[in-house]
């Protein structure tokens, strides 16, 4: 599955809004350089929707575990570099 374009994202949001499930159980990472898909369904999906403050925000900003770890590492490096100066 490719990244969610606007048309697909809107159809997924509509389906979740009406049936509280997605057309597929795999949600792609929003990072353009990543092709990881994370399984989300049932209570796992519903808890993530709450955590991300809505299904549209979840689908458009979700990052896989690897990308989140990479972002945290880059932020820490930037913070340490700034502290040296």
CB contact at 8 A, 67 and 32:
no
How far is the C-alpha of 13 from the C-alpha of 55, rounded, in Å? 6
- In the block, residue with structure tokens 């549209």: 56
Does any domain span residue 32?
yes
Tell me whether residue 66 is in a domain: yes
Residue 37's SS3 state is strand
Which residues lie across from 37 on neighbouring strands?
A: 28
For residue 25, tell me if it sits in a domain: yes
- Report the length, in residues, of the chain: 85
pLDDT in tens, the chain (85 residues): 668 899 999 999 999 999 999 999 999 999 989 999 999 999 999 999 999 999 999 999 999 999 999 989 999 999 999 887 6
Query: What's residue 28's pLDDT?
Result: 96
Number of domains in the chain: 1
Residue 1 is assigned to a structural domain of this protein: no
Range of the domain at 70: 6-84
Question: What is residue 1's predicted lDDT score, i.e. its pLDDT?
Answer: 61
């Amino acid at each position: 599955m490719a990244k969610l374009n606007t048309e697909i994202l809107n159809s997924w949001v509509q389906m979740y809004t009406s049936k509280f499930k997605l057309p597929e159980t795999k949600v792609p990472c929003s990072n353009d350089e990543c092709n990881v898909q994370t399984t989300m369904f049932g209570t796992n999906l519903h808890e993530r929707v709450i955590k991300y403050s809505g299904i549209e925000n979840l689908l458009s900003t979700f990052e896989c575990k690897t990308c989140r770890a990479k972002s945290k590492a880059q932020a820490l490096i930037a913070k340490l570099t700034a502290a040296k100066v």
